[in-house]
Amino acid sequence: MEKKQKKSLIDRFLNGIEIAGNKLPDPISIFAILAGIVLLASWLLNKIGLTAENPTSGETLEVVNLLSKEGLQQIVTNMVSNFTGFAPLGIVIVAMIGIGVAEHSGLITAMMKKTVLSAPKNMIVPVLIFTAILGSVATDAAYIILPPIAAMIFMSVGRHPLVGMVAAYAAIAGGFSANIIITSLDVLLVGITEEAALLVDPEYKGLATMNYYFMAVSTVLLIIVASWVTVKIVEPRFGKYEGKMEVLEKVTPQEIKGLIWAIISALIYIGVLLVTIFPENGILRGENGSFLDSPFMSGIVPLMLFLFLIPGIVYGIVVGTIKSDRDVAGMMFKSMADLASFIVLSFVAAQMIAFFSWSNIGTILAIKGAETLQTFNISGVPMFIGFIFIAALVNLLMSSASAKWVLLAPIFVPMFMYLNYSPAVTQMAYRVGDSITNPITPLLAYFAMLLAFARKYDKNIKMGTLISALIPYSIFFAIMWVILFSLWLLLGLPMGPGESIHINN
């Protein structure tokens, strides 16, 4: 009789996570329970008198009791606006209008067939990871566009679609601070860093490129790490896909014709966009010709909607899947129907996140965590590793990268400057910590969207399965990124153009 193969320690750990996670209630119930916990915690911590001093303004922050008369009035009167103002909801709905037409017209399937049949299969995973990391240029839109497409790509080559979906999501979320392109986040964070640095050096001037060298090398590192985790850990856990596999058939001449016209229409659309952004006085450029802080970057989601919608319609007309405007409307309706569970979940999640923000609990805990690190008498690499993990833990409570940095920068940038470390080093340490727990933070609303998309391939999938698949990425990102950061500090390499590790060399 053949002996049963003994499971590895990692497998047993992840199995435990999956079993425990799958015993949790439905995500809608989880967010409702969390909302109740936040309400009770706001009452209790308010009675205890938990406070913290805001390092930016010097204001004393108190926990707001949401079970008071004023708190309950705020909850009732803002419940609808919490839902309608929930940022991921609008982004997902708008993006899916265009993606839905491109999918149901057959454009995405035809593009995948053409691409997959032409590309080496052993390069699919690293190319997917690289594309997902680059996706941070499109900010939140990447969370909506890439995971579903990655799932279809994996399924088209006989691999489990959920593996592709999870890998893409983990690379987008965990690789948000690794890129070879300067993004709007670089501009946003450097402004906060500069303000904090001025407390020590009134003449300090930060650049959006201050972390570029480290970020570029991190991109290569994360591609390798994420590809290894996907192939060696995540894919074996999912095993063979038991659902209906999409058979890859050769692209027909009519489909090729449709692809050609779809590409032509996309190029024309892109050409029109270039005219609006490349001249310094272009209508989609910002003040003083700014590109990163511009209407183009702010409007990237609706602009991407048309990038899918126009070629999708053109393709459908050429191949015959679209014969009238009713067909286009029908495809949009189908894509909205697929989002029904996400829309309901968004209502509950929006309330919980709003309660958490109103209560000040997350802000106060972030400040307390920063103060705790300051009390430890450590320096050099251990000090920065401690800071990275403080940022990672805070990220589990606050999902906004800029909001966390507004709180932490005035504490840590001056503190490390007094120890002769450049603000660029502190900012990068924060970004590493902020990124490594992104795939598993419950307050990143796109996790709920990932679960909704995953149920297209497995209607019974639960949170535990997804969490157990995402945790390996966070663990190995943390290990390898901390090692890279430590070596970078020890070797004294510049973080970016003109940014040394130390202020005084």
In a domain, 362, yes or no: yes
In a domain, 387, yes or no: yes
Nearest to 481 by CA among 193, 230, 168, 226: 226
What pLDDT is attached to residue 292?
64
In a domain, 420, yes or no: yes
Q: Provide the pLDDT confidence category of residue 4 given band limits of 50, 70 and 90.
A: very low
What pLDDT is attached to residue 117?
58
What's the Rg (C-alpha) of the chain?
24
Distance CA 459, CA 30 (A): 18
Domain count, the chain: 1
430 vs 199: which has the higher pLDDT:
430
In a domain, 6, yes or no: no
Q: Specify whether the CB–CB gap between 182 and 292 falls below 8 A.
A: yes
Apex CA 196: angle with CA 193 and CA 200, to 5°?
125
What pLDDT is attached to residue 140?
67
- What does the pLDDT look like over 118-155, one tens digit per residue? 667 788 899 889 888 887 766 666 787 788 888 888 88
What pLDDT is attached to residue 2?
39
Q: Is 203 helix (H, G, I), strand (E, B) or coil?
A: coil
- What does the pLDDT look like over 231-256, one tens digit per residue? 999 999 888 887 776 655 678 899 99
Mean pLDDT score, 73-96: 87
Question: Is the pLDDT reported for residue 1 higher than 70?
Answer: no
DSSP, res 53: E
Mean pLDDT score, 1-12: 59
- Model confidence, pTM: 0.74
Q: Provide the pLDDT confidence category of residue 62 given band limits of 50, 70 and 90.
A: very high
In a domain, 50, yes or no: no
Q: Is 502 helix (H, G, I), strand (E, B) or coil?
A: strand
- What does the pLDDT look like over 380-401, one tens digit per residue? 788 899 899 888 988 887 766 7
Max Cα–Cα distance, the chain, nearest Å: 76
What pLDDT is attached to residue 185?
77
340 vs 469: which has the higher pLDDT:
469
> What is the span of the domain harbouring residue 82?
36-44+61-491
- What does the pLDDT look like over 332-381, one tens digit per residue? 998 888 778 778 878 988 898 889 889 988 778 777 766 776 677 666 78
Phi-psi domain of 459 (left: phi exceeds 0; alpha: psi -120 through 50; beta: other) = alpha
Helix (H) or strand (E) holding 52: strand 51-53
Per cent of the chain over pLDDT 70 is: 90
Q: Provide the pLDDT confidence category of residue 455 given band limits of 50, 70 and 90.
A: confident
277: Cβ contacts below 8 Å, ≥ 6 apart? 284, 285, 291, 294, 296
Question: Is the pLDDT reported for residue 113 higher than 60?
Answer: yes
What pLDDT is attached to residue 142?
78
378 vs 39: which has the higher pLDDT:
39
Q: Specify whether the CB–CB gap between 103 and 453 falls below 8 A.
A: no
In a domain, 372, yes or no: yes
Q: What is the mean pLDDT of the chain?
A: 85
In a domain, 93, yes or no: yes
Q: Specify whether the CB–CB gap between 474 and 192 falls below 8 A.
A: no
In a domain, 13, yes or no: no
Greatest mean pLDDT among 99-103, 254-258, 442-446 lies in 254-258
Greatest mean pLDDT among 79-88, 269-278, 332-341 lies in 269-278
